[in-house]
Chains A and B, each alone.
Chain A
């Protein structure tokens, strides 16, 4: 699979920002080009808006205690409850925002973890090659042959055996997602690494007799940064979607703590579909808008950072 000619894994021939002195101007140049990309900018704005709304919004809500009020069951949007109430009489708007905190955090954290794992393992495999490469890549192959569902169920069950408090389940969800995601990322990084180490500047480094660590940290990793940034952004979107799915299984965040995923899940039936659109449209739209926005932004970033994509 290392040979998959995905654009990102393909060894770029030229100006990945490599030479140190040119760096600042190159970054600034990139930024300027990014700002010209309207889609990417609007994506970025939406993402920032979602973050702000979710993290600050609930501070202004009078309903943050999520008190259960059966008398307010499934009320449509009104002046008191802008997005209506759910089947336990809780304010949907407040819950969507609170859910966003968790879903966004999970997306971010899972991204950080899998990018970290993927980069580390992929870089090591690509740099050292030989036995190390074989071991890491075979493990990746092995992981890819195993269906994800049982893997996730088992991790869930084991954590329950180990009495990990349910409050921390969120972090476990992230861990599980990262575990599933790293092989794909590792492959890409490895491919890039394999091509980088053949470059002239690396040959120079070898001639200079630099130590491995110095070569890795100062010369190779910086060259991977654009790729990593791009993968990271695109990864968040996927992680948010996956989180929503894990929530369906009770593998993730326990109710009554809301996430976008468990909110949609609660309304995923014909009756709510027809009669209570305010239960599923807000969380659904939040996921949809956030994932699109992040992807557009990531795509714009790639346009800018990947030299082959230049106009």
Chain B
């Protein structure tokens, strides 16, 4: 086991190194740089600024410098925001995490409940309805449903605020603050849950159907166990167990921010920050964020492979 983990960690390091180089080159290849977007500058001033920022150096040299600093824990200053990249992450990432964590929890909860029930009643009208709804949720353009709900729930009925994280100008603290944030996050969480719940429900449904057909369930029933006991004790557990591997894959999503949702609902999250940085080619911030996601992705992958082994001991790790 530990040999396996060591091997995986080496792999991870190699992949991250390759990814960082590739990502760096890709950003460098993207036409335009931080300077070119500012049309107020004269060509001479542009050249001067490129010199100051080191943008006139060859890509590989820039990469080497970035890598060296990164190893020392220095991810640099954001060019556009003039703040340390890590400080910016700290400003924004937790807001994204809050949205993602709550909606992920809700998504899983709803998906498990509905998925299991509809599997148990496979081919009933309930199951059919669920199936259609699942696909409906998977066929929605997210920006559209977002704006639609703002229009209905916020503008027309005024039930929920149209965006933001707190009431503008509010000085609430403690419980009042928590209440305010909950009020503001309701809409985005609803949309994120709708968008995510489809595929997950489908996953649980098929898993559960698989399990119900297994011999040991038949055996359990044949033994004369009560149906509820068969369902909860045997079927449910076995249907849910493999799902823990998915937890690893949620990792980057938890911290990566939901770009479109944050944008539509004006949520001060990392996704918005990333997008605005991309359009101005704020390299230090882009690199920092992309690498963070890459790191979370590989960790998530490792985590899910490990969890899978715990869930299903038949799987051999190699």
Contacts and interface: CB of A to CB of B under 8 A. Distances in A.
Interface of A: 1, 3-7, 10, 39, 138, 141-142, 144-147, 149-151, 153-154, 157-158, 161, 237, 241, 244-245, 264, 268, 270, 273-274, 280, 284, 287-288, 291-292, 295-296, 299, 308-309, 311
B126 interface: no
Contacts of A245: 141
Given A146-B23, A311-B123, A1 B301 contact: yes
B315 A145 contact: no
Contacts of A141: 15, 298, 301
Given A142-B19, A154-B26, 12 more contacts: A1-B305, A3-B308, A4-B249, A5-B242, A5-B245, A7-B207, A142-B18, A149-B278, A150-B290, A287-B141, A291-B135, A292-B135
B22 interface: yes
Contacts of B107: none
Given A4-B245, A142-B15, A145-B297, A296 B132 contact: yes
A296 B26 contact: no
Nearest to A267: B144
Interface stretch (B27-35, B36-44, B57-65, B182-190): B27-35
B210 A7 contact: yes
B151 A270 contact: yes
Contacts of B135: 291-292, 295-296, 299
Given A4-B304, A7-B207, A287-B139, A308 B151 contact: no
Nearest to A310: B213
A5 B23 contact: no
B230 interface: no
B143 interface: yes
Interface in B111-143: 123, 128, 131-132, 135-136, 138-141, 143
A39 B131 contact: yes
B247 to A, nearest CB: 12
Interface in B48-103: none
